Amino acid sequence: MKNVTIACGNGGVENNDLIQKVFYKYFKNDILEKNEDSAIIDSGKLAFSTDSFTVSPLFFKGGDIGKLAICGTCNDIAMMGAKPLWVSCAVIIEEGFDMKQLDTIVSSMKKELAINGAKVVCGDTKVVPKGAVDKIFINTSAVGQVQKKGISSNNISKDDIILINRDIGSHGATIFTAREGMDMSGSLQSDCTSLYPQVQALLDANIDITALRDATRGGVSASLNEWAKQSKIGIVVDESSIPIKDEVQGVCELLGFEAVNLANEGTFLLAINNKDEEKALEVLKRFDQNNKAAKIANITDEHIGKVVIQSSYGTKRYLEMPSGELLPRIC
């Protein structure tokens, strides 16, 4: 590949290749190689993460770029069993950007910060000439205090099962239909949500958590494939157990998408000890949006590094890492 393509930002094969062949070539170290949602630093006491947000459109059903920026970064902290505390905010704004829209975006950020119990402690603002950026881009970084040490996507074993907290694909489907001006009847909206309260509830219930992962770019497919490779395990998914809203399934059937490849911003996977299945599902279902929380997969010592998906008809196939241009700019 001679040039960077849109597919390089899809969270799938091309994205991983770009990171491995360029950035890891120069930045590789023992912390980065763990491939976690956040870096664990300061002898395991702190979690640190950063993310940039370029979503189009800026406003969508269920959120906007401001809400997305705080949720996305704080969720990465929460996925390491940590409480988000301190956030940085850097914005690049195109000249002529509407001040009322900017105020709405920053107000959304404040609301999500309150939900996480975090605060912005540093930042940067740049204004660039018209056309140099598409309206507004936001970068947020966060530092959080680890509440439970040892949560890692490198430690999943046959003693674990995999749960999901809610239905999948709503964010990706919402962004696509909004961008294309498709008027979808029903309740389709982004699942964009701050996940720390759910993680804290699981920790308070003493759920034996091995790993957590919010299934953002590349969706459930990318997350499960990353786990299989990182922990050197096989994962067997029961396709019928994966919760999908009718509206999302309708978008997928209409446009030829796979729901498991669509982005999420409030949906996460849990690898937990199998003895805690019922208790974990009970905790998750306390949250209104999680009425479809379910066990979706088992761990096997066969098909190492692979994800196998089993249909309701008994057929099996490999669930591959997403590739090609999926839904550009979903975050």
Residue type, 302: E
Task: Tell me which of 321 and 59 has the higher pLDDT.
Answer: 59
How are strands ordered across the β-sheet holding 307-310? 209-214, 268-273, 160-164, 294-300, 234-238, 307-310, 316-318
Question: Has residue 203 got a pLDDT over 90?
Answer: yes
What's the token pair of residue 321?
Answer: 């890492």
Q: What is the pLDDT of residues 77-121, one digit of tens each?
A: 999 999 999 999 999 999 999 999 999 999 999 999 999 999 999
CB neighbour burial string for 156-187, b if at least 16 within 10 angstroms, e if fewer: beeebbbbbbbbbbbbbbbbbbbbeeeebeee
Output the CA angle 7-10-13, nearest 5 degrees: 75
Give the model's confidence band at 15: pLDDT under 50 very low, under 70 low, under 90 confident, else very high. confident
> pTM here?
0.95
What's the token pair of residue 182?
Answer: 């498709």
What per-residue confidence (pLDDT) applies to 189? 95
Domain ranges of the chain: 6-146, 160-318
Burial (0-12, 13-18, 19+ Cβ within 10 Å), 24:
middle
Q: What is the pLDDT of residues 166-180, one digit of tens each?
A: 999 999 999 999 988
What per-residue confidence (pLDDT) applies to 326? 64
User: Is 6-146 CATH 3.30.1330.10?
Assistant: yes
Residues 117 and 77: their CA atoms lie apart, in Å, by: 12
Question: Has residue 10 got a pLDDT over 80?
Answer: no
Cβ neighbour number for residue 37 with a 10 Å cutoff: 23
Give the model's confidence band at 327: pLDDT under 50 very low, under 70 low, under 90 confident, else very high. low
Residues 86 and 65: their CA atoms lie apart, in Å, by: 19
Which of the residue ranges 12-16, 87-91, 149-153, 269-273 would you say has the lowest mean pLDDT? 12-16
What per-residue confidence (pLDDT) applies to 180? 85
Class at the top of the CATH hierarchy for domain 160-318:
alpha beta
What per-residue confidence (pLDDT) applies to 328? 64
Sign of the alpha-carbon torsion through 91, 95, 96, 99: positive
DSSP for 186-209 reads SS--------HHHHHHHHHTT--E
Residues 74 and 87: their CA atoms lie apart, in Å, by: 8
Cβ–Cβ under 8 Å, residues 269 and 223: yes
